[in-house]
């Protein structure tokens, strides 16, 4: 149908116009780098995406990041076209409702973000919509080819993203509700074998992983050269299967927060208008198409609240909220279909209400006008979204971070990086863009693993790998590879044992033995010299809109100021330290801003700016994602040592002790 093709084509043009030429944060750097070097990214390896990415990365067009983003813009454009086609079919050819749902999806902020950045989610969204389109078409036509197509899409989706497993309850219900047609379609053994074979055929992209791993590319997670390593990778054993991380979500309350956030994101991204229309779509199905209603309800609950409750994302910062919101995308594709169906239901309702009073021609004109008025909704969504992304295509905020980290090191340095934002952006700049090829950029958390050492030995034969236990490996590696011509750096304070120190050096720390420690003045002078080469992270797209995933970039810069400020405090250079903390506060990072405000407030206390200190502590309290009694202690110190108000100081300290004791109460005592 022409409308579906037009929706996809217009969306593709829009996405390509805004498509990122630089790298983004989150997992983008790891995915693009792994694809470009023919490697294996973080678990579960995303074999279909990485294989396609490897093919696309060899196109002689713009940047590697832009090429890989085609795996976002093109699948999402097709998804928009399929949403149009699905609404068109489900509403008996209501063009306006189809356009409404398709446009609403294409300009939704979250959907748009992952249409113009390199990530795995767009391809998954395409599989979700295509699967349901094929199932609904099979239900109506009873043509087994559509069922076969759905089975193949299901299998292929599992070679890309395992979250598709959460759709199984909805799919099983749909097949059970259509069991007469299903049994008729699959009554022959050949049909059953064909269906199983098509699901299995979808798993073929997994062959990419062992072939890629055998070459030992620099990005080679779990080095899959045997069955055990293969299972470890695809089961996400490093993280915990389907769980975002193993250190959060151990309590019912923590998991329930993910469900609450789900509702808040829905209202924020779709507004009450979208929610009401989606509810109207569900209600219309409940009245006329119970199978569709329950299939959609089960799908929405399974991929939404139930998955988020099970995965339990740590919602403790803007960055973790950005990590969380990505998994709402398949839910949003389903919601957009309901929004289109809901508009059609509203148009039908008003048409029926007007029938006794208005002739057919006028009634159609009124309903068409009503539909056009409703188009204000996606137009307003689109206006806000396009403003947020204006200039996004040429933005280099995350890429500049990788360049700045590398600029902090001398020639032939060894760079041990932790935390995704710093690690993945720097890997992209070093291994894809070819910046500072003399530098060994290493994933610090995996350094002690034998499989990773095999890869590193191939790419960096100059490095020394000590024969010690895994527990002692990191500190031994740092010491053996620290020499006048080879210095070791890290972005966090890794354990390196006695007699060695991590000395601030711009955005990094340098490992230095005690006998070579520079004076604080020399260290400070070196950092100031390095900063002349550093970019301003707030000069790019963050000056227009605080995109959640990019907020972590600010933390890396702010942490550099905080680390230096702490060192200056220990050297009794309070004025210089105050300047460092003030710059960290001005960056307004994600998790760093609270610590920056607290430290800035303490320097104000030292300099007897008592009221200023209280304002800083109050701001720290306001910006904390989690309430902390420590702010009461800081206020107590300010009243006691700065303002000389002993009574108020004791009151605040007593309240601090009470809250601290309550927070430490054992769970079994509650």
Check residue 313 and give its pLDDT: 80
Task: Please tell me the pTM assigned to this model.
Answer: 0.92
Domain match, 524 and 569 both? no
The predicted-structure confidence for 365-414, as pLDDT tens digits, reads as follows 887 888 788 889 999 999 999 999 999 999 999 999 999 999 989 999 99
Burial annotation 509-531 (CB, 10 A radius, 16+ → b, else e): bbbbeeeeeeebeebbebbeebb
Q: Is the pLDDT score of 249 beyond 80?
A: no
Q: Is 229 inside a domain boundary?
A: no
Q: What is the pLDDT of residues 623-638, one digit of tens each?
A: 887 767 788 888 888 8
- Cα(378)–Cα(104) distance, rounded to whole angstroms? 5
User: Which residues sit opposite 489 in a β-bridge?
Assistant: 415, 510
- 143 & 13 share domain: yes
In a domain, 663, yes or no: yes
* Sheet with 440-443, side-by-side order of all strands: 440-443, 414-417, 488-490, 508-513, 500-505
Give the domain-ending residue among 506, 531, 556. 531
d(CA 650, CA 91): 68
Same domain for 591 and 450, yes or no, is no
Residue 131 shares a structural domain with residue 278: yes
Q: Which residue has the tokens 């997670």?
A: 221
Average pLDDT taken over every residue of the chain? 89
Q: Are 128 and 333 in contact (CB under 8 A)?
A: yes
Q: How high is the pLDDT of residue 250?
A: 56
Domain-located, residue 46: no
pLDDT digits (tens, 9 = 90+) for 256-272: 888 888 989 999 999 99
Q: Which residues contact 651 (CB under 8 A, 6 or more apart)?
A: none
DSSP string for 571-612: TT-HHHHHHHHHHHHHHT-SSHHHHHHHHHHHHHHHTT-HHH
Residue bearing tokens 């002692």: 472
Check whether residue 437 and residue 571 sit in a common domain.
no
The predicted-structure confidence for 513-524, as pLDDT tens digits, reads as follows 988 888 888 888
Q: Tell me if 455 is assigned to some domain.
A: yes
Q: Give the mean pLDDT of 269-276.
A: 93
Query: Are 382 and 431 members of one domain?
Result: no
133 pLDDT more than 90? yes
Q: Are residues 326 and 179 in the same domain?
A: yes
Q: Which domain holds residue 471?
A: 397-531
Whether residue 150 sits in one domain with residue 91: yes
The domain boundary, picked from 342, 364, 389, lies at: 389
Whether 443 and 512 share a structural domain: yes
Q: Which residues contact 185 (CB under 8 A, 6 or more apart)?
A: 138, 142, 144, 147, 191
Q: Which residue has the higher pLDDT, 167 or 366?
A: 167
Total domains in the chain come to 3
SS3 state at 502: strand
Are 487 and 582 found together in one domain? no
User: pLDDT by residue (tens digit) across 49-84?
Assistant: 999 999 998 888 889 999 999 999 999 999 999 999
pLDDT computed for residue 413 by the predictor:
94
- 69-126 pLDDT, tens digit per residue, is 999 999 999 999 999 999 999 998 899 999 999 999 999 999 999 999 999 999 999 9
Domain termination residue (choose one: 476, 497, 531): 531
| CB 604 within 8 Å of CB 617 | no
Q: Tens digit of pLDDT for each residue in 220-239? A: 999 999 998 899 998 888 77
Residue 118 lies in a domain: yes
């Amino acid at each position: 149908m022409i409308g579906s093709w037009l929706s996809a084509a217009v969306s593709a043009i829009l996405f390509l116009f805004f498509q990122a030429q630089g790298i983004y944060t989150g997992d983008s750097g790891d995915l693009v780098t792994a694809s470009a070097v023919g490697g294996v990214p973080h678990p579960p390896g995303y074999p279909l995406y990485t294989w396609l990415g490897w093919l696309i990365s060899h196109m002689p067009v713009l940047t590697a990041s832009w090429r890989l983003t085609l795996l976002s813009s093109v699948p999402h454009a097709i998804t928009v076209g399929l949403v149009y086609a699905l609404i068109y079919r489900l509403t008996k050819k209501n063009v306006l409702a189809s356009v409404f749902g398709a446009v609403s999806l294409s300009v939704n902020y979250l959907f748009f973000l992952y249409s113009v950045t390199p990530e795995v989610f767009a391809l998954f969204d395409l599989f979700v919509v295509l699967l349901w389109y094929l199932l609904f078409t099979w239900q109506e036509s009873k043509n087994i080819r559509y069922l076969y197509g759905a089975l193949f899409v299901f299998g292929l989706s599992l070679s890309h993203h395992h979250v598709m497993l959460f759709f199984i309850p909805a799919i099983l219900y749909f097949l059970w509700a259509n069991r007469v047609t299903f049994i008729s379609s699959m009554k022959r053994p050949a049909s059953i074998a064909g269906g199983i074979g098509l699901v299995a055929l979808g798993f073929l992209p997994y062959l990419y992983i062992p072939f890629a791993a055998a070459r030992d590319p620099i990005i080679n997670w779990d080095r899959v050269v045997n069955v055990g390593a293969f299972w470890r990778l695809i089961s996400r054993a490093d993280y915990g299967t389907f769980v975002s991380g193993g250190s959060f979500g151990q309590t019912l309350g923590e998991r329930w927060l993910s469900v609450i956030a789900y509702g808040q994101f829905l209202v924020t991204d779709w507004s009450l208008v979208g929610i009401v229309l989606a509810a109207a779509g569900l209600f219309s199905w409940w009245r006329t198409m119970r199978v569709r209603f329950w299939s959609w309800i089960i799908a929405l609950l399974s991929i939404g609240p139930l998955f988020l409750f099970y995965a339990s994302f740590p919602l403790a910062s803007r960055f973790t909220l950005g990590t969380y919101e990505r998994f709402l995308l398949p839910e949003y594709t389903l919601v957009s279909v309901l929004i289109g169906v809901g508009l059609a239901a509203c148009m039908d309702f008003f048409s029926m209400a007007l029938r006794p009073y208005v002739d057919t021609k006028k009634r159609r004109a009124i309903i068409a006008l009503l539909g056009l008025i409703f188009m204000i909704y996606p137009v307003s969504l689109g206006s806000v979204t396009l403003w947020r992304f204006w200039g996004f295509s040429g933005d280099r905020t995350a890429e500049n971070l990788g360049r700045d980290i590398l600029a902090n090191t001398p020639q032939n340095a060894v760079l041990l990086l932790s935390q995704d934002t710093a690690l993945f952006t720097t890997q992209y700049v070093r291994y894809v863009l070819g910046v500072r090829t003399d530098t060994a950029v290493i994933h610090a958390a995996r350094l002690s693993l034998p499989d990773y050492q095999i890869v590193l030995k191939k790419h960096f034969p100059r490095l020394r790998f000590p024969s010690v236990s895994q527990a002692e490996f990191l500190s031994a590696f740092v010491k053996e590879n620290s020499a006048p011509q080879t210095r070791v750096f890290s972005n966090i304070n890794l354990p390196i044992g006695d007699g060695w120190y991590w000395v601030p050096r711009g955005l990094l720390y340098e490992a230095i033995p005690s006998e070579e420690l520079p004076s604080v003045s020399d260290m400070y002078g070196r950092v100031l010299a390095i900063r002349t080469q550093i970019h301003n992270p707030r000069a790019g797209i963050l000056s227009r809109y605080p995109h959640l995933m990019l907020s972590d970039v600010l933390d890396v810069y702010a942490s550099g100021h905080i680390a230096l400020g702490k060192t200056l405090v220990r050297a009794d250079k309070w004025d210089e330290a105050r300047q460092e903390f003030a710059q960290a506060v001005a960056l307004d990072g994600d998790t760093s801003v609270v610590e920056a405000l607290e430290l800035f407030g303490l320097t104000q206390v030292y300099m007897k700016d008592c009221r200023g200190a209280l304002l800083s502590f109050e701001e720290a309290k306001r910006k904390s994602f989690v309430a902390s009694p420590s702010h009461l202690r800081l206020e107590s110190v300010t009243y006691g040592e700065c303002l000389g108000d002993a009574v108020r100081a004791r009151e605040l300290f007593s309240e601090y002790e009470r809250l601290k004791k309550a927070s430490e109460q054992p769970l079994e005592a509650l």
